[in-house]
Amino acid sequence: MLPYDGKRHQNHSFTMFDAEMMTIMICFHCGSFRNLKHFYPYYVVEYLQNNSPSLLSYSRFVELERKVMIPFVLFLKSVCFGKCADISFINSIKITVCKNRRDVSGETVF
């Protein structure tokens, strides 16, 4: 057991609300930053720190990011993607758009 040093220590939970983490992830994907490692300190810490009092460090955010991935994907699927009106399918058949004509020398003519 640690000795009591006479100072009061706060009990930090070291976590953020799921909605705050999802908001940061949406801002990252809508922004022009290439990777989260630059986005977090240069945008989130700089501009969003006043709005989020429980802001985490970058490494802790990356650790906890996994726990909101499923709600984040469900949010994107339900809100951001359009509604399907009919049956959707993917087909991998090659579609010929135009015929390439070749001239007498064998070169392709467009």
pLDDT in tens, 31-73: 888 899 999 999 999 988 888 878 888 999 999 899 999 988 8
Q: What is the distance between the alpha carbons of residues 70 and 21, in angstroms, rounded to a whole number?
A: 12
**Residue among 81, 82, 54, 83 nearest 23 (CA):** 54
pLDDT in tens, 7-25: 655 555 567 888 889 889 9
Structure-token pair, residue 88: 């959707």
Is 0.85 topped by the overall pTM? no
> In this structure, what DSSP letter does residue 77 have?
I
- Rg of the chain over all Cα atoms, to the nearest angstrom: 26
Q: What is the distance between the alpha carbons of residues 21 and 28, in angstroms, rounded to a whole number?
A: 11
Domain parsing of the chain, residue ranges = 12-110
